[in-house]
Structure 1
């Protein structure tokens, strides 16, 4: 039974509208008193919520969590190997990037679906086994998708910065299923990551190599057709030979021109000398030696006379006079006379004539040689000009052949390297080590206690809120102290109000 202030309300009279316009003022002690008035309402709300929480907590089952861990190191599959060229070859990520990549692979939906298909949907989710068995193919795909999401909710993947360990845990009401799911996940992860990181890139490399080989065969055919169509065996050798031949022909041509000029100058000089030389000349002639002989005879006679006569004898003087007279005639040349002589062809003219003939023949030969060299130089120049016209096409074909040959060689080496890498990687993942395999947990965890505690707290909070709402919605001033604070008047007495 409630009490009201005598100053604020007339007994048995309903409150007027003006009473609602006054805002009540409460003290902390008023809340205790007023809430105690609403204890039955608060108790009812508290009991209902607690009963609902207890009912919900009893439905919760224990979950068993299987744990495992992986040790991850940098592997060959993370080393960057370009398909073509050497740009950024050998680049590697840091440890954190590798850990994050491996974590993403562990948490991928494809890996979870592989686990479900390997173990069987009904074994992982026994409650839905019958539904899965009777479902259509489309329904089975939908159930597998839902199961994949359910596995993701129960799977936890934990990593730490600068740490190469990845921790995994999987929760399930059945500890055996938790163990099998987590171990199967690890096994499928080792297989799936190899197919994902290494893949089947060899087929791409092989196809690219075959494409380059086909282009190379086409280019070789065009190259051979170009050479045979232009009567070229070896373009570079032929061009080099023609260049050397041109240099030799030019050198011989200039040497022949110099020789021709020399021979023509000598021929002109010989012809001029030949014109001045007589055709015939005196071959030889005899001199008259009778005066000398007679002088010698007189000297002999004088020596004979001296044997018989004295030097001043008349016969000796006569001989001396003859000798003196004859010597005077010989010395003056009066006693000289022409003897026998012979004329014939002039040998100098004949020599000049022979030299002229030789020079004329040499000039004619040199002129023929010069004409031949000129023709040879012209022919070589024409062939060089023709090769110069063909050189761009030849260079293009040669570059194509060289580039394609290099590409075929590089892709062949790349294909063999990739094949060897795939074979080595297929044998195992040396950079991924399972530190701890999952084992069936012996103890489970349940949320019954946390749910009960939360239900009690929520029930208490809700009951308090309901009491406050009910208290504040009551009309009038509920306590004398509140009336005094609100109206600013003292309350002298209170009386009980009977309904």
Structure 2
């Protein structure tokens, strides 16, 4: 189906060249004069949603029809009008008429929560297996569920095995039976659903009858004789246990086991603590004794007290006399002339004193040495004697403490054994005592209840017999509505799920949003030639964009068309673009194809050129168009050749030709694509609808940018229009 060309071209073709150029490099910022890309930042519109819906129409229709058909089939063949019969009963929960075993209780009246529990217990009795089985047997299994015997789904499925029919009937009966408590009351409603109204009413009455009979059997339980025998048995066991406890206490000499265990444990702990203290003191005494004996062996018996040496004599005052005479001489010398007689006399006295002092050098020196008994030896001897006495005393104390410890531990072990036996006996006695008390109370209560049961009326009162409305419940229309609603929802979910799983492009806007690059041109059709009028028009516009884009005043002349694989029609597009440059613009155009030999054979070539050119070329049947004779083996396609040589070859080709169109390798992720991308003026990604996968296209774009190449935009080929023409009138 074809979409109106004028509307589609106006909405999908780019703006003028300077505004639509999307060229960008990973390692540089846009230079002055460089036009930034203008991407269409449109939100998802109704048109986009319709395109996705019509693309996945088979999946959506299948998903939508499936629940509709299932609902229609069920409504036509299996859904029948259902009649619900109801019966009402009231459960009395006061003490006088309740069904619990507490008639003799002297406590307060039954609380509301207890009454609610009593009512719910009645519901469990109604839904018990005995009541249901008896009801099915009386009403008739073949009447209630004939499909169990004749086969389900109108005989399409085999009948249930005879040994399993009753179990299956009980499962179905529980599904159709409802027993609920009315809100804020003690009224029980019993409901049963069946296509036959009379049979539903009969079944409800039968359930009520078997429920009341089964309930009487449950509560009819004479217990007084049994409880009396149990009271006697527990009393005998309790007396025997008391006798065993007293005998055990007498055997182990126990008064109060807890206090005896505490006293024995304290005694053991006290003995152990004293034993440790004595052991520590004994070790300290031994160490002190050894050290004292070692020091005693090295201590001398007598020690030096003092020594005195002196050469002084009695009445020796010569120096003092000499000093006084000298002072006197100095005083007289200051007051009198040197010839003064008193000075001569003083000098004579000084000489006399000095001579006397010189004669004292021959005097003897006196020495005095004194030795006394060593006091340390006496102290050490007394200490050694004291430590030996204390050591012997501590040794005797340790022996006594060991004996006390053994006795205390033996007593503690006996008490531990006795305590274990007493705990078990007391536990048994407590259980017996509690049981004895309970059975005494219950025996008395049972006697009273059995007497009261003879005159007590039932606590379940029938309010309403089974009854059903004349108009039944028809679920066919709600089922059809539910099927249609479910079909629409499932169809929408299937379409959304299919769109989420799809990784290919079906619209140019998807390529723009995913690659973040403008779509420079889009081509419809499934052929390999771009010769239709709309394709030639889009091709001319695409060529204008490429020729009119400039960087810093320099127009782009060398382009590379790159694609993920060989199914994007990249080579036919490159040939058609080169022909547009040659014929439509009258420009000298060179087409270099890096595809395989089989792909290059699609390009018609004549005899090689005769000029000495930068690359061997061949003329074509299109004027002004030359074809590279062996591009993959040239300097551009040789990965071992330096990149500088490749740039030099491109510059030489730029001087010889006006436009150079390069068709990249068949595999877009080839290293040749990266090599060429970094030396051409611009790169253009070619994507094809329903073929090119978005992750692969994004990877190819990133690979070109990482190689240092600029990406001008994308070309969308294989465009299909999924929406019928008449739908576009409303968009």
Q: TM-score, normalised by structure 1?
A: 0.46
Which protein is bigger by CA-based radius of gyration?
Answer: 1
Q: TM-score, normalised by structure 2?
A: 0.33
Quick check: which one's helix share is greater? 1
